[in-house]
Amino acid sequence: MRTLASAIAALKKELGRDLCIMGHHYQNDRVVAHCDITGDSLELARQVPGIEAAHIVFCGVYFMGESAALLAKPGQAVHLPDPAADCMMSLMSPAGLARRVLEQLTATGRRIVPLAYVNTTLALKAVVGEYGGAVCTSANAETMLRWALERGDGVLFLPDKHLGRNTAEKLGLAPEDQHILKVSGQGLAEPESAFLGRPLLLWPGCCAIHARFTPAQVADARAAHPGCRITAHPECRPEVIHACDAAGSTSFLIKDAARLAEKAPGSTLIIGTENNLVARLAARHAGRCRILPLGRAFCPDMAKVTEEKLSATLSAIARGQAAPLQVEAALCEPARLSLTRMLEACA
């Protein structure tokens, strides 16, 4: 009986140079095994313009597919094995509501530069582009927050308040310089608040997967593994980051694990991020250093992409029956502006 893996291998062979499969680090190993390119959000976005294949199959969540479609060449098709795989955090800052809040914040003539984490919808990125703002990733949030602060009277960082606070701390911004907005369905819930004059305004969103880590888990890990190193992703709450030895983007966590395995064999590393990545790093460095998750943290949306769905997508492409991801043409130009501002500022 033909396995899914061999069916996918046969389809890849059939499609040849017409196909490129991209996969995010949070995908499970069975999917990652078929990917031509893997990376975090920034690495994957950077690779898209260099891809020549007619079909890009993106194993990740919806906003990543949208970004790939935005950066793809004319005529290139981007496919998602499961279009229902949607990052929960990206849905926390609807474009219409963000526009309303920006209208309210700028009504007095104050120049507010929006800075959107890449984990947002194309529609939100378009609003950000229109308002002179840019996108950032966890890998370049510091550079991009500095960029935004230099360009206006204030910055609206959205949607991840934890990444915003962790990045602000790195830049030396005091808690009194920041304010987490209260937002209702109509816009600002407290439009008269004096706190709105602060330099950094944070949208009240977060990643439910990373936000579930606690300082108590860090303390328990230190007690259970004396001398261990603990790292975490900056989508974790600031209290967790303070308790860790280091924090950084997914690519930082990967490099940090490799460095430890080489320089300190026999040591224990605990990582606070999505568990598929932690398990892959544990297997990669097995025998040199022990790598454990800080706690249970699987992204249910990343998990919606399976080998079965990947196989079905490739099969549909081979039959000429695949439905590529469609992006609204009117959103592309302003959304592309917000992405290219990031790529230029970080070149």
What CA–CA distance (Å, rounded) separates 46 from 39? 10
Q: What are 59's strand-pairing partners?
A: 23
Per-residue CA distances from 287 to 8, 207, 281 (Å): 31, 32, 12
Show contacts with ligand SF4 in window 297-326 (CB under 6 A): 299, 301-302
* Residue 163 in contact with ligand SF4, rule: CB under 6 A: no
Quick one: 90 or 178, whose CB is closer to ligand SF4? 90
Compute the C-alpha angle 298/121/149, nearest 5°.
100
Angle at 246 between CA 115 and CA 298, to 5 degrees: 70
Q: Which is nearer to ligand SF4, 11 or 117 (CB)?
A: 117
Q: 212, 239, 238: which is closest to 293 by C-alpha?
A: 212
Order of all β-strands in the sheet with 154-158: 134-136, 112-117, 154-158, 200-202, 178-180
Question: Rule CB under 6 A: is residue 118 a binding residue for ligand SF4?
Answer: no
In the complex with ligand SF4, the residue whose CB is nearer, 19 or 299, is 299
Q: Which residues contact 31 (CB under 8 A, 6 or more apart)?
A: 23, 59, 305, 306, 307, 310
As given in the structure block, the two tokens for residue 286 are 């097995």
Question: Closer CB to ligand SF4, residue 63 or residue 131?
Answer: 63
Binding of ligand SF4 at residue 41 (CB under 6 A)?
A: no
Tokens coding 317: 């492409």
Asked if 89 is part of the footprint of ligand SF4 (rule: CB under 6 A), the reply reads: yes
Interface pick for ligand SF4 out of 274, 294, 341, 342 (rule CB under 6 A): 274
The site that binds ligand SF4 (CB under 6 A) totals a number of residues, namely 11
Q: C-beta of 180: minimal distance to ligand SF4 in Å?
A: 18
Least separation, in Å, of the C-beta of 209 and ligand SF4? 4
CA gap 341, 347 in Å, rounded: 10
User: Given candidates 9, 88, 318, 322, which one binds ligand SF4 under the rule CB under 6 A?
Assistant: 88
For residue 58, the minimal CB distance to ligand SF4 (Å) is 13
- Residue that has been written with the tokens 């690495």 in this structure: 43
Q: Rule CB under 6 A: is residue 232 a binding residue for ligand SF4? A: no
Helix (H) or strand (E) holding 260: helix 250-263
Token readout for 212 is 């579930």
Contact residue for ligand SF4 among 31, 35, 61, 102 (CB under 6 A): 61
Residue of 115, 113, 125 whose CA lies nearest to 331:
125
* Contact with ligand SF4 (CB under 6 A) among 31, 116, 209, 314: 209
Task: Work out the end-to-end distance of the chain between its first and last CA atoms, rounded to an integer number of angstroms.
Answer: 49
124 part of the interface to ligand SF4, by CB under 6 A: no
User: Applying CB under 6 A, does 92 fall inside the site for ligand SF4?
Assistant: no
Smallest gap from residue 21 Cβ to ligand SF4 (A): 18
| Burial (CB count within 10 angstroms: exposed 0-12, middle 13-18, buried 19+), residue 312 | middle
Single out the segment in contact with ligand SF4 by CB under 6 A; choices: 82-90, 148-156, 197-205, 263-271.
82-90
Is 264 near ligand SF4 (CB under 6 A)? no
Q: Does 45 bind ligand SF4 (CB under 6 A)?
A: no
Is 101 a binder of ligand SF4 (CB under 6 A)? no
Among 44, 56, 145, 207, which residue interacts with ligand SF4 (rule: CB under 6 A)? 207
Stretch that binds ligand SF4, among 87-95, 96-104, 141-149, 184-192 (CB under 6 A): 87-95
**What is the chain's alpha carbon radius of gyration, rounded to the nearest angstrom?**
21
Contacting residues toward ligand SF4, per CB under 6 A? 61, 87-89, 119, 207, 209, 274, 299, 301-302
